Amino acid sequence: MQDGDCDLVIVGGGSAGCVLANRLSADGRLRVVLLEAGPRDSNPWIHIPIGYGKTMWDKKVNWAFFTEPDPNMNGRRIYWPRGKVLGGSSSINGLIAIRGQSEDYDRWEKLGCLGWGWSSVLPYFRKLENNPDHANDQAHGANGPVSVRSIRARHELIEAVIASAKALGVPETKDFNSGNQEGVGYYQLTTHNGLRMSAAKAYLKPARKRQNLRLLTDAHATGLIFEGKRAVGVRYRTDSEDHEIRAKHGVILSAGALQSPQLLMLSGIGPAAHLQEHGIPVRVDRPAVGANLQDHLQIRLIYKCAKRITTNDQLNSLFGRALIGLQWLFLRRGPLAVGINQGGLFTAVLNESTTPDIQFHIATLSADLAGAKPHPFSGFTLSVCQLRPSSRGCVKLASANPLDAPLMYANYLDTDLDRRCVTAAMAFARKLAATQPLKSYVAEEFLPGPSATTERDLLEFARNSGATIFHPSGTCRMGTDTDAVVDPRLRLRGIDNLWVVDCSIMPTLVSGNTNLPVIMIAEKASDMIMEEIHSRVDQLQNVA
């Protein structure tokens, strides 16, 4: 295929884009082009599960964004890593396989997104999954492209957390993904034989040799091409040269919650006044483009461990590093094979919550920042986040230059609900650490430390140290109301032949990590888009 000769252009080779490229090219009838601004996924640290400590700061595979100064976070700019490589953030994330709660999706349906309730999305979660640990469970799949594996090796520290949580009334679970999340246990990971299972590996690798699929890397999309109210192509830049590619059936934006709205606004679709500020002609006045930004704020409580059993101890020792390297090299086991966060906990801390409202990521490692050098002492981390924040931020243009990063206003902790939930989550984490048997593993609380004694102290700690847990969503939200950006079939309202398929379409953030939900969204979207295009072609043939 040459430029200008395809049926569909997909912008963004991340989790959603990889799924779409595979599914839409599978039957050979559609000629598909996938544009990815970053390189191929050849960096070896991508494929080693613990390697995201390396890719977290590597601008070759990471957009390395920062938010605008957030007044609710004492004016801090928060680092927001996003994947800039085939596989997108699935190539640099923490590998945790979480779907969210059944109520999350039923809530979408109640908001007008028909066909997105739990009973409708569950078949797509099953379709994407290859999970031998739950092969006989009706909630799981055994033949999908995404390998999901339970952590088999037991860790003394995680076992202590589980026992203490049970003493506080949190039930033990072996599956956070049945729709009911409540419980404590080991996470399932998107790994296979000790290697990362990114969307690029799961979906693109099997499809790359198809004659009807063209892959363009290091190709930064700069704008959409229209004929009247129809999207007919994409402008992109590669090697400092500008190109155009046209598509017979349209364009799919899968650039993520930050760059999908940015590309729409650069192309004249967004809040009219904002576009005019930057000299961009308004094609469709859609105020909700870039609005409704949601993210999970992470608060990390760090403890010095009374026993030398943490990943810090292994990584801070030459012998320890050699041992875990050999474990992975010959057995595909050990810390390199499971990443950092091994244990999870979901529970409710607010009286008004009817389902779990907080999530723990329990790491047998501690550091000043995610992906930073481990502390020199034996340490572990209880990371807490509010699952359904009510605060809303937005994404705006910095300029009309498509190569400039968008402006991101996170607006964390803007509501009383969020402030109450975050401080209650921290209080629960402290209660957990003070409960046996975990208590016997705690030498001291390193952060926030014993000087933080009041709810106000805890909130101030959250403002001074809170960070993203990498789940920005909601900026091109789906719905049927007049403000919605896309309809429930993910078609952009006001423009034909243009779809948005990524976490930006979420009306409300799901309760947990977003990678599996994004893959599910793309699986469902593939069916809807294929159905629409084939119906269109059949109608034309009948007329002829």
pLDDT at 1: 45
Which value, to the nearest 10 degrees, does the dihedral of the CA atoms of residues 6, 10, 13, 15 take? -130
Tokens of 524: 């469902």
Are 140 and 160 within one domain?
A: no
User: Which domain range does residue 350 map to?
Assistant: 152-186+297-386+413-465
Tell me, yes or no, if 471 is annotated catalytic: yes
Q: Are residues 269 and 327 in the same domain?
A: no
Considering 465, 491, 508, which residue would you say is the last residue of a domain?
465
Shared domain for 381 and 272, answered yes or no, is no
Of 432, 450, 465, the last residue of a domain is: 465
* Residue ranges of the chain with per-residue pLDDT less than 70: 1-4, 540-544
Minimal CA–CA distance to 181: which of 357, 382, 341, 421? 357
Chain-centroid distance, C-alpha 368: 22
**pLDDT value, residue 540:** 66
Cβ–Cβ under 8 Å, residues 223 and 234: yes
Output DSSP code: residue 272. Answer: H
Task: Output the pLDDT for position 396.
Answer: 98
Number of domains in the chain: 2
User: Do 85 and 211 lie in a common domain?
Assistant: yes
Decide which of 449, 465, 481 is a domain's last residue. Answer: 465
Does residue 179 sit in the same domain as residue 212?
no
- Is 85 labelled as part of a ligand binding site? yes
Please identify which of the residues 134, 249, 296, 471 carries the catalytic annotation. Answer: 471
Residues 321 and 198 placed together within one structural domain of the fold: no
Cβ atoms of residues 151 and 186 within 8 Å? yes
Taking the C-alpha atoms of residue 262 and residue 260, their distance in angstroms, rounded to an integer, is: 5
One domain, residues 308 and 263? no
How is 127-194 classified by DSSP, letter by letter? HHEE-GGGTT-TTS-BSSSEE-EE--S--HHHHHHHHHHHHTTPPB-S-S-SS---EEEEPEESEETT
- 194 and 307 fall within a common domain: no
CA angle 67, 383, 405 (to 5 degrees): 15
CATH number (domain holding residue 346): 3.30.410.40
Judge if 246 and 365 occupy the same domain: no
Q: Are 353 and 235 in the same domain?
A: no
- Please tell me whether residues 478 and 520 are part of one structural domain: yes
The helix, strand and coil proportions of the chain, stated in percent and rounded to the nearest 5, come to 35, 25, 45
Q: Are residues 315 and 420 in the same domain?
A: yes
Helix 15-25 to helix 515-543 angle, to the nearest 10 degrees? 30
CATH for 248: 3.50.50.60
The structure's pTM equals 0.97
Predicted local confidence at residue 544, as pLDDT: 56
What's the confidence (pLDDT) of residue 62? 98
